[in-house]
Amino acid sequence: MNDDKCGCRIIHFQAVADARSASLNRTDYERLAQMFKIMADPSRLRILWALERQEMCVCDIAAFLEISESAVSHQLRLLRGARLVKNRREGTVLYYRLVDDHVKMLTDIALNHIKESND
Amino acid sequence: MNDDKCGCRIIHFQAVADARSASLNRTDYERLAQMFKIMADPSRLRILWALERQEMCVCDIAAFLEISESAVSHQLRLLRGARLVKNRREGTVLYYRLVDDHVKMLTDIALNHIKESND
DNA sequence: TCACTATATGAACATATAGTCAGATAGTTT
DNA sequence: AAACTATCTGACTATATGTTCATATAGTGA
């Protein structure tokens, strides 16, 4: 029923004010989105799922995914950047593993949601 | 040190075999990725964060986000498709709210991960 | 019916992203 | 040192995605 700075029509001023005061800052949403973006790819999810059971080296992961080692390496870089996986070196071989159980928690909840949504 | 169907070199056959037997099927990874993809956008996260506190109509959300109502509507469509939000109609106004607490659980874990990663 | 409001939708554009290919690194073995 | 292995990186391409604009739909009130 009125205009705001942004030019949008607002019906419920209080609701908008509440949303604004409870809101995180922009950067936090960007970081959150970045985090979910990392989880939002089938190849990366398959890697993470496999690493929940045991550490694996790059070429084994590539064999498992049936994609090139280069592609795996690119994905592992993203996963490392998001601190979801880390590695240890043994000679020329790099073994990757999960950093913590956040990945498992996230996938469990997401799987539950998907399951319940299909009813 | 042998070749697989896919032509990749495998070092640890057992690890690859284990990963394969524990793996979900392709479709499940696609669905999971789709779910995280929905969470992987700052605008949608801001909408979801706001709706954790109260239901809101489209034009209020637009005012809050400072983007067009059309853009909000497109995003709400995706969120509806993922069964993360639902709406109720009151005259011409549609009030949106969260379907369940999965969103809150996911964002809490992701925020924790981000926080812990910065140490 | 017509005008008005709130929301939805389709097309278009700009940006982001996953994979491929070629070439670079780093550790190993001789 | 040179040859070899495992992995990484940069450039490129095809596809996906978020927003805007214009238009369509659905409900309300005269």
Is B108's CB less than 7 Å from nucleic acid strand D? Answer: no
Cβ atoms within 10 Å, residue A66: 12
Contacts 24+ apart (CB under 8 A), B83-91: B83/A113, B83/A117, B84/A113, B84/B38, B84/B48, B85/B47, B85/B48, B85/B51, B88/B55
The answer, yes or no, to whether residue B1 has pLDDT greater than 60, is no
The answer to whether the CB atoms of B6 and A63 lie below 8 A apart is yes
Please give the average per-residue pLDDT across B80-88, as a whole number.
97
Asked if the C-beta of B49 comes within 8 angstroms of chain A's C-beta atoms, the answer is yes
Find the residue closest to D18 using CA and C1' atoms: B71
Computed over every residue of chain B, the mean pLDDT equals 91
Asked if the C-beta of B26 comes within 8 angstroms of chain A's C-beta atoms, the answer is yes
The answer to whether the CB atoms of A23 and B63 lie below 8 A apart is no
- Is residue A36 within 8 Å of residue B39, measured between CB atoms? yes
The answer, yes or no, to whether residue B84 has pLDDT greater than 80, is yes
Measured between beta carbons, the chain B residues lying within 8 angstroms of A6 are 63, 66
| Burial of B35 from C-beta contacts in 10 A (0-12 / 13-18 / 19+) | buried
- Token pair of B81 as six digits: 């498709």
Region class of A58: left (phi > 0), else alpha (psi between -120 and 50), else beta:
alpha
Report the run of H or E that residue B19 belongs to, with start and end: helix B13-22
- Is residue B35 within 8 Å of residue A110, measured between CB atoms? yes
What DSSP state is assigned to residue B83?
T
**Ordered structural domains, chain B, with CATH:** 1-40 (no CATH), 42-119 (1.10.10.10)
Q: Where are the alpha helices (DSSP H) in chain A?
A: 13-22, 26-39, 42-51, 58-65, 69-81, 102-117
pLDDT at A9: 67
Name the amino acid, one letter, at B36: F
Which has more pLDDT, B101 or A119?
B101
Report protein residues in contact with nucleic acid strand C, where contact means CB under 7 Å.
Answer: A 1, 9, 11, 37, 40-44, 67-68, 70-71, 74-75, 78, 89, 91-92; B 57-59, 69-70, 72-74, 76-77, 87, 92-94
Q: What is the pLDDT of residues B3-47, one digit of tens each?
A: 333 344 677 899 999 999 999 999 999 999 999 999 999 999 999
pLDDT at B97: 98
Could you give phi then psi for residue B88, rounded to 5 degrees? -130, 145
pLDDT at A39: 98
Asked if the C-beta of A9 comes within 8 angstroms of chain B's C-beta atoms, the answer is yes
Q: Low-confidence residues of chain A, pLDDT below 70?
A: 1-10
